[in-house]
Amino acid sequence: MAVMKSLTTHIGGYPRIGAQRELKWALEKYWSSKITRDELEQTASELRQRHWQEQQGAGLSFVTTNDFSFYDQVLDTACVFGIVPERFGLSNTAVSLDDYFSLARGNKDHAALALTKWFNTNYHYLVPEISEKIDFTLNPDHILIPIREAIELGHNPKPVLIGPVTLLSLSRPARGSQINPLSRLPELLPHYAKLLQEIKAEGVEWIQIDEPILSCDLSPEQHKALASAYDYLSNTGTRPNILLASYYGKIANNLNRTLTLPVEGFHIDAVSAPEDICTAARYLPEGKVLSIGIVDAQNIWINDLNQSRATIEQVASRVPKELIWIGTSCSLQHVPHQLDSENHLDANILNWLAFAKEKLNEVSLLSRLFNDDHEESRFAHNATLIESRKTAAGSYVDSVRQRVSTELPKITLKRTAFETRQKSQREQLKLPLLPTTTIGSFPQTSEIRQARAKFRKGGLSHAQYQSFLQQKTKECIEHQEKLGLDVLVHGEFERNDMVEYFAEGLEGFAVTEFGWVQSYGSRCTKPPIIWGDVHRPKAITLDWIRYAQSLTNKPVKGMLTGTTTILQWSFIRTDIPRIEVSQQIALALRDEVLDLEASGTKIIQLDEAALREGLPLRKDEQAAYLEESCHSFLISTSGVEDSTQIHTHMCYSQFDAIFDTIIDLDADVISIETTRNRMALLDVFQQKNYPNEIGPGVWDIHSPRVPSVEEISDLIQRALQHIPAERLWINPDCGLKTRAWPETIASLKHLVQATLSARANLSEKFVSH
């Protein structure tokens, strides 16, 4: 009997950090000179080999290469093409590993490249700097060496490479330059062509070129760039076949033009945009490959195999099977490595999950759909599991649904006018002009993390761990009093992470033990899993805030993470609309806010650090998202008295698209990130007459560097040019958890000193008037 050959299979990339975060530990040891460069390279090579073996073990047609990075794939690509800012004074033809780390992390003479959000994910990339002068070049080893390693091990490598249009679109002009990075495309392309030629010479058949920019609203210039780039690349020199990949959203209106590009195949994210795959199947030019990104690489639920089967069959009715590929929606770098290590997850929940390694098997299984031995029983079992999710106790909690449907419509979302609240808050808080505060966390030292790890493993009793944390909190309050800060925080020592901690206190969330996902460099998070209806069995933060407040007469800010940020940094359930999950969390936080207020907390902060990042890539989807985000914030905050001061915090610098929402949130005080942009961000607050109080950051906490009093004073003066003193707060850019104590104390000392002299100045002026 004829057994049909399986469909071709591949993935967009694999997590590189390692199932046990081997890369994180090796990097951090290398940076503190505890291991040699050879040892670091050895770890990297072992990880690559293991990850290829996992792909081969699952039976995939290709192993994906060039998805490994010591820090970031955008920086890697920049270095491959010699995009090294002149300000570093480095050679751009021989970028050593240490040079590479200088670009990523900065050194004593040079600030690092800017770190910013990668599309709509919690991954951060380093922003390449382009000038008129930069001479592009080709340093191909980073790509060629792993290809050789893979071939030697008997694999069939398919490298992935960030495409030229996405690379330049994500770049910024170097300091002092006004250049539009995309204008340098013609000079960059020959190096891409040369690279393709060298890759071909290694015996590579297919390369995946990623242009995720296709899921954004494109300018005419970007469209032109795409056309000319792929015309050039397809017609210049020998090269492997090109699979052009898009992901993170719909291609929609860009799809027609994309399908005319002269490449051999297209990869489409069928999870973000199922409609794109149908359109692509219909209009796919003859003889081209269509790769269906059907396994979700941004979420952790098992694939609905029967639904995927229907999609694949639909494509197969139009496209010959030898031209259909099965893959993940995008790189698996956004999901944890493997479920094998999870020993404490509820058995039911475990059945519903697939991490990167399990997703390899899903891709493989779906590729055998048309084979005679296509394992029908697994499709049937899968349907049972998907059904069991819907009916599980906890997926639907009557009281939660009741509350959302009856209580929510009755909530008055609008607080009293800001001026009234401000007056009442001033009477209550009696803060000086230019009040000083911090964003919440104080250093999460290795001592604290180790104590928590020990507690988790049973090596510390609950009482011992509590008293350890109380001691740390007490010391933190003492430090702040000594420094002379005006509004204090408890320090967040009890929190592993600002999202995971709340997930642990709420029903409907599950947390993993080893579900690490890279956020940037060696830093990772364990996104919690929202699987059921969310509610709060008991207060989460109350005891800590009360304890901290009992130690001081200064006000201690209550510290919460806002709904949108919790949603954005968790894996969200997909069986009910996002807005319902959002409302459930917002109500739980409302209870927490009111409990804090009832116990005497006068200032409460809800961090919305992910509000900008969650903004949909396409304009036509943004309004609904912003409305939902704003609504959830107001649900949580609108119940308090006029005299209770609500703060929010957002640590990024792109506010254009969300500014009206910032106004609508109506927080009494917002703290933002303004050090690196030297208060330029305040322009928009001034232009749009932002009515409430603002704390622009005056200390860039992403670097261990201690800012001088003069530098901070300068920033305060700049801020005063935009915002009247009566509405200005003084604080760092973000929380201090990644900092060490010595630089924290030194920097805050300078911050308070600079504030005191600014105050003195202001009162002099006041008198002389």
Was 524 annotated as part of a binding site? yes
Residue with tokens 């640590």: 651
* Contact between 499 and ligand 39S per CB under 6 A: yes
Cβ atoms of residues 568 and 122 within 8 Å: yes
Cβ atoms of residues 300 and 328 within 8 Å: no
Please report, as ranges, the residues that interact with ligand MET according to CB under 6 A: 439-441, 498, 559, 607, 609, 649, 651, 734-735, 737
Return the residue of 63, 609, 672, 730 that touches Zn ion, per CB under 5 A.
Answer: 609
* Contact between 468 and ligand 39S per CB under 6 A: no
User: For ligand 39S, which is the closer residue by CB, 245 or 511?
Assistant: 511
CB of 642 to Zn ion, least distance (A): 27
Work out whether strand 523-525 and strand 517-520 pair parallel, antiparallel, or are unpaired: antiparallel
Contacts of 633 (CB under 8 A, 6+ apart): 562, 563, 564, 586, 606, 608, 648, 665, 667
CB of 2 to ligand MET, least distance (A): 57
Which residues of 536-635 form beta strands (DSSP E)? 557-561, 603-607
Label each residue of 374-386 as H, E or C.
CCHHHHHHHHHHH
What are the CA-CA distances from residue 456 to residues 122, 459, 515, 658 (Å)?
Answer: 26, 7, 16, 40
Was 330 annotated as part of a binding site? no
CB of 187 to ligand 39S, least distance (A): 34
Was 722 annotated as part of a binding site? no
Was 607 annotated as part of a binding site? yes
Give the interface segment with Zn ion, choosing from 49-57, 119-127, 592-600, 651-659 (CB under 5 A): 651-659
Return the residue of 415, 452, 536, 573 that touches ligand 39S, per CB under 6 A.
Answer: 452
The encoded tokens of residue 301 equal 């639920």
Was 48 annotated as part of a binding site? no
Render 473-493 in DSSP notation, one character per residue: HHHHHHHHHHHT-SBB--B-T
Give the interface segment with Zn ion, choosing from 159-167, 359-367, 632-640, 733-741 (CB under 5 A): 733-741
User: For ligand MET, which is the closer residue by CB, 297 or 498?
Assistant: 498
Return the residue of 738, 749, 756, 759 that touches ligand 39S, per CB under 6 A.
Answer: 738
Kindly state the DSSP code that residue 116 receives in the 8-state scheme: E
Which residues of 536-598 form beta strands (DSSP E)? 557-561
User: For ligand 39S, which is the closer residue by CB, 526 or 750?
Assistant: 526
Was 203 annotated as part of a binding site? no
* Contact between 498 and ligand 39S per CB under 6 A: yes
702 catalytically annotated = yes
Return the residue of 55, 64, 122, 480 that touches ligand 39S, per CB under 6 A.
Answer: 122
Q: What span, in angstroms and rounded, lies between the C-alpha atoms of 262 and 247?
A: 19
Q: What span, in angstroms and rounded, lies between the C-alpha atoms of 359 and 365?
A: 10
Give, for 500, the enclosing helix (H) or strand (E): helix 500-505
Contacts of 661 (CB under 8 A, 6+ apart): 611, 626, 629, 630
Return the residue of 423, 523, 678, 688 that touches ligand 39S, per CB under 6 A.
Answer: 523
Was 149 annotated as part of a binding site? no
Long-range contact list for 709-714, CB < 8 A, 24+ apart?
709/750, 709/753, 709/754, 709/757, 712/750, 712/751, 712/753, 712/754, 712/755, 713/754, 713/757, 713/758
User: For Zn ion, which is the closer residue by CB, 160 or 734?
Assistant: 734
Q: Which of 155, 702, 722, 750 is catalytic?
A: 702
Was 492 annotated as part of a binding site? yes
Radius of gyration of the chain (CA): 27
User: For ligand 39S, which is the closer residue by CB, 453 or 740?
Assistant: 453
User: For ligand MET, which is the closer residue by CB, 289 or 560?
Assistant: 560
At 280, give phi and psi (nearest 5°): -65, -40
Residue 559 interacting entry, from ligand MET, ligand 39S, Zn ion, none, C-beta within 5 to 8 Å by type: ligand MET
Counting every residue written for the chain, the total comes to 769
Return the residue of 199, 284, 651, 667 that touches Zn ion, per CB under 5 A.
Answer: 651
Runs of H (alpha helix) within 17-120 = 22-31, 37-57, 73-80, 97-105
Residue least distant from Zn ion (Cβ) = 651
CB of 446 to ligand 39S, least distance (A): 4
Give the interface segment with ligand 39S, choosing from 202-210, 289-297, 442-450, 458-466 (CB under 6 A): 442-450
CB of 715 to ligand 39S, least distance (A): 22
At 680, is the secondary structure helix, strand, or coil? coil
Strand order from edge to edge, sheet including 669-672? 557-561, 603-607, 645-650, 669-672, 693-696
Was 267 annotated as part of a binding site? no
* Contact between 561 and ligand 39S per CB under 6 A: no
User: For ligand MET, which is the closer residue by CB, 169 or 541?
Assistant: 541
Choose among 164, 159, 160: nearest CA to 128.
164
Q: What span, in angstroms and rounded, lies between the C-alpha atoms of 651 and 610?
A: 8
Neighbours of 343 (CB within 10 A): 8
Return the residue of 524, 529, 665, 682 that touches ligand 39S, per CB under 6 A.
Answer: 524
Cβ atoms of residues 672 and 651 within 8 Å: yes
User: For ligand 39S, which is the closer residue by CB, 284 or 610?
Assistant: 610
Contacts of 314 (CB under 8 A, 6+ apart): 278, 281
CB of 216 to ligand 39S, least distance (A): 21
Cβ atoms of residues 679 and 722 within 8 Å: yes
Q: What span, in angstroms and rounded, lies between the C-alpha atoms of 438 and 485?
A: 8
Site for ligand 39S in 568-587 (CB under 6 A): 569
Give the interface segment with ligand 39S, choosing from 70-78, 102-110, 145-153, 524-532 (CB under 6 A): 524-532
User: For Zn ion, which is the closer residue by CB, 7 or 566?
Assistant: 566
Q: What span, in angstroms and rounded, lies between the C-alpha atoms of 719 and 721?
A: 5
User: For ligand MET, which is the closer residue by CB, 309 or 737?
Assistant: 737
* Contact between 97 and ligand 39S per CB under 6 A: no
Was 546 annotated as part of a binding site? no
Runs of H (alpha helix) within 174-304 = 185-201, 220-235, 255-259, 274-283
CB of 736 to ligand 39S, least distance (A): 11
Return the residue of 3, 4, 380, 453 that touches ligand 39S, per CB under 6 A.
Answer: 453
Residue 602 interacting entry, from ligand 39S, Zn ion, ligand MET, none, C-beta within 5 to 8 Å by type: none
Choose among 365, 389, 391: nearest CA to 377.
365
Residue ranges for the binding site for L-homocysteine?
Answer: 439-441, 492, 607
Residue ranges for the binding site for 5-methyltetrahydropteroyltri-L-glutamate?
Answer: 21-24, 117, 122, 523-524, 569, 613
Residue ranges for the binding site for L-methionine?
Answer: 439-441, 492, 607
Give the residues lining the site for ligand 39S (CB under 6 A): 122, 444, 446, 449-450, 452-453, 496-499, 519, 523-526, 569, 738
Give the residues lining the site for Zn ion (CB under 5 A): 609, 651, 734
Catalytic residue positions? 702
Residue ranges for the binding site for Zn(2+)?
Answer: 649, 651, 664, 673, 734
Residue ranges for the binding site?
Answer: 21-24, 117, 122, 439-441, 492, 523-524, 569, 607, 613, 649, 651, 664, 673, 734
